[in-house]
Structure 1
């Protein structure tokens, strides 16, 4: 938008400032959505920030026992937080990846990603009860191997799950989730952004998985949204992806919009302030990022930093 500035017109000046404040960081047009056709190759860094990965965890050393081991007879386990989840015969959680597709089935986790998230072989997998046998299938991976699918979604284990019943992969990078018996994501998810009444912090914003949302005091909101968390910073503070206004509850609508980061990824804002989650929060209700470095704070429904000096 181009604005004619006239030093003699206070009204014109005020209107221009108002326009900048309203637009802060908003890109023209609708937020772009990356789509991946079945069998198509994935561009390096397409799922990560700063070109450093595919959105998987930071531990790249996969368990030798998990790599290529048959799932055996699948079971359904009741998890206190997530509800019913699918596990393999040894009790290890099976996960699905949001960057994959189910119709048609396609696995986009390869290379280093597959070391952290070992694909579950299709061979030798069966069900006894709890999972509809008709939902089981397979997909051919880039290396020619056959990977197990449930309702079309490719199945994985997580290298950091070291004991039966572990669900450490749940919500990693906002793209990895334990699998429900129907093939859907385990755990009830709420609106894209909503408000939780924290006993210590008061009303704070949470994402669809109930994870605390944060602000970085070194960022900028006016005259446009600017994120100063880049590179390795994003490993600890993943960005909150764009959320439709209709998919929010209790959030102030002012400045509720996405903006495009320098790396091309889109990030959500409230009152034009960029939003993040914290990798140190392991479960809904955690707020371990509060006050970190004196620069990171939970976000109030109007976008202000909770408890900041």
Structure 2
């Protein structure tokens, strides 16, 4: 009678002893020299870091104050984008020359009003920083802080200011406005205003802080030019309390109104102190009240005292 030989039982018993000896210890919970392993986790190097873009103000010769990134590289806006709503159209080869300023989280800004800073989703899904609704970009050939070679590339590209405007040399032009006649505007066609509380020839502006956030001083950091039909002798500049320069016309510090689109003059007559300017530097006396939407009337309601 043949008996089964219990040879195979020995390894099983040995394995059993090994498992008993290891009770309470998970052989898959460590790797290397006892380092814990979390199943399904990525190595730290594979987890993308969350970064916040930074905006700072910078000075460029001939252009005055512009926006820059954390390294001081000048930032630009693109005429083929839109600000309302924000839309970024520079992609593909364009974005290689003009890298968008992207940020995983809201950008950190110094010298820029928080309400002006936002973001827009690009065609590739990334978040691009916007200022005043305009997507902002760098120029690949700008080699360092204070350089703005991009301003000479195309009329579609302009350095951007802390208020979202184009940082071009200040230009005073003329335009026709319904009910007002010929008035003065900036290079973007925005109506220029005087503030009677400043006082003609006083050499100072009384519109600061919250007032200046709605009535933007026309900057005079660089060269100021006047269109044909405007006496260059009427153009001057003053130094504001914050150290920036502002254009004056006929002795009046001049401003644009943030509720205006180009071609509008909705701020004319606001608080009985704000008036569009004639080409001779005097305030416009309207022949008829300026039509305003309910939204504009509501925005102007709390402007008592010019603020």
TMscore range, shorter length = 0.3 to 0.5
1 or 2, which has the higher helix percentage? 2
Bigger Rg, structure 1 or 2: 2
TM-score by length of 1: 0.40
1 or 2, which has the higher strand percentage? 2
